[in-house]
Chain A
Amino acid sequence: MTKTRRELEALTEALDDVPTSEEEDRATTAALGVDVAKMAADIRSKIADADKRERERRVEEARRAYAAEIERLERRRIEAKPTRDEQLAVFRSLIARVPAQAVAMHFHKYESASDEELAELIRALRHLLGEDE
Chain B
Amino acid sequence: MNERPRRRQPIRGIGVKAANEVRRAIGYEHPTEMEIEVLAYMRGALVRSVPARGARANLLRVGERGVIGVGDRLSPEERRWAIAHELGHFEAHAGVSFLGLCSSRDMVSAYETSGREPEANAFAAELLMPQDLFAKRCDVARVTWDPIRGLANEFQVSVTAAALRFVTFTADRVALVCMKDAVIQWCSATRDFGERPARGARVPAWSEAHAYFAGREASTKPETVSASAWCDDADDDEDMCEHLLPSPRLGSALSLLWRKT
Interface SS, B side: mixed
B93, A104: Cβ atoms closer than 8 Å:
yes
Q: How far is the CA of A99 from the CA of B37 in the complex (A)?
A: 28
Report B43 CB to chain A, min CB distance, Å.
10
Report B50 CB to chain A, min CB distance, Å.
5
Q: Mark A101-117, 1 if CB is under 8 A from B, else 0.
A: 11111111111111011
**Number of A residues, CB within 8 Å of B:** 40
Report B9 CB to chain A, min CB distance, Å.
19
With a CB–CB cut-off of 8 A, which chain A residues contact B86?
106
B54, A65: Cβ atoms closer than 8 Å:
no
Q: How far is the CA of A114 from the CA of B50 in the complex (A)?
A: 12
Q: Contacts A66-B37, A69-B46, A107-B55 hold; do A95 and B69 have CB atoms under 8 A apart?
A: no
With a CB–CB cut-off of 8 A, which chain A residues contact B111?
106, 108
Q: Is B27 an interface residue (CB 8 A)?
A: yes
A101, B38: Cβ atoms closer than 8 Å:
no
Report B216 CB to chain A, min CB distance, Å.
38
With a CB–CB cut-off of 8 A, which chain B residues contact A101?
95, 97
A102, B62: Cβ atoms closer than 8 Å:
yes
A66, B62: Cβ atoms closer than 8 Å:
no
* Interface pick from B101-109, B137-145, B172-180: B101-109
Q: Is B248 an interface residue (CB 8 A)?
A: no
Instruction: List residues of B (126-160) whose CB comes within 8 Å of A's CBs.
Output: none
A109, B59: Cβ atoms closer than 8 Å:
no
A128, B58: Cβ atoms closer than 8 Å:
no
Q: How far is the CA of A60 from the CA of B95 in the complex (A)?
A: 30
Q: Contacts A51-B27, A55-B26, A117-B51 hold; do A105 and B93 have CB atoms under 8 A apart?
A: no
B108, A111: Cβ atoms closer than 8 Å:
yes
Can you give 18 A-B contacts (C-beta < 8 A)?
Answer: A58-B42, A66-B41, A95-B102, A101-B95, A101-B97, A105-B58, A106-B86, A107-B59, A108-B58, A111-B108, A113-B55, A114-B51, A120-B69, A124-B67, A127-B67, A128-B61, A128-B66, A128-B67
Which B residues have a C-beta under 8 Å from some C-beta of A?
Answer: 26-28, 33-35, 37-38, 41-42, 46, 48, 50-56, 58-63, 65-67, 69, 86, 89, 93-100, 102-103, 105, 107-108, 111
Q: List the 4 closest A-B pairs by CB distance, nearest first.
A: A124-B67, A107-B58, A66-B41, A128-B62
